[in-house]
Amino acid sequence: MNNPLVQVDPGLFIWTILTFLALAGLLAKFAWKPLLAALAARQATIAKAMDDAREARQELERVKQDSSKILAGARVEADAIISRTRADAERLRAELREKATADATNLRRAAEQQIQVETKRAIEEIRREAVDLSVAIAGKLLRRSVTAADNEALIADAIRQIDAERAH
């Protein structure tokens, strides 16, 4: 049994090698180079996408830090505003308290002055009535009429005596 496919034929062997080399050369020129170019382009696209993702992650991290700083600044500013507001409210409360105290003191002084004026007026009125009564009693005792000049002299004398008694 001689099978021609199993037998070694040097011509067929050479032609098979030459055909393989020619086909390998053609594939290298026309198929392998475009395939390598497509793979290189795909690798470049993937590398660019990874770089873009890394940059986006860095940008996101930077934005997070910026927003944290802005938020911290806003908190500090809010705390400062609250502190200023409390200080202003306390200052206003103290000013109102001082003003109320001053107003109360002024009202008390005015009332005291009014009381003193009214007291002096009442004392003068009482003095005049006492003098008039004394003059009337003296007139009845003396059984004579006291003139207006005598009345004024008696009033002045009585006021001097009362003032002198008060001074002692």
Task: Write out pLDDT tens, residues 59-89.
Answer: 999 999 999 999 999 999 999 999 999 999 9
Would residue 9 count as lying in a domain?
A: no
Would residue 82 count as lying in a domain?
A: yes
Would residue 67 count as lying in a domain?
A: yes
pLDDT in tens, 103-133: 999 999 999 999 999 999 988 888 787 777 7
Would residue 158 count as lying in a domain?
A: yes
Whether the pTM exceeds 0.75: the reply is: no
Check residue 145 and give its pLDDT: 64
Assign 20 a pLDDT band (cuts: 50, 70, 90). very high
Domain that holds residue 98: 32-167
Would residue 141 count as lying in a domain?
A: yes
Would residue 5 count as lying in a domain?
A: no
Would residue 16 count as lying in a domain?
A: no
User: Structural domain tally of the chain?
Assistant: 1
Q: How far is CA 124 from CA 1, 19, 111, 114, 166, in A?
A: 170, 152, 20, 15, 14
Alpha helix ranges (H) inside the chain: 10-27, 33-142, 148-167
pLDDT in tens, 86-103: 999 999 999 999 999 999
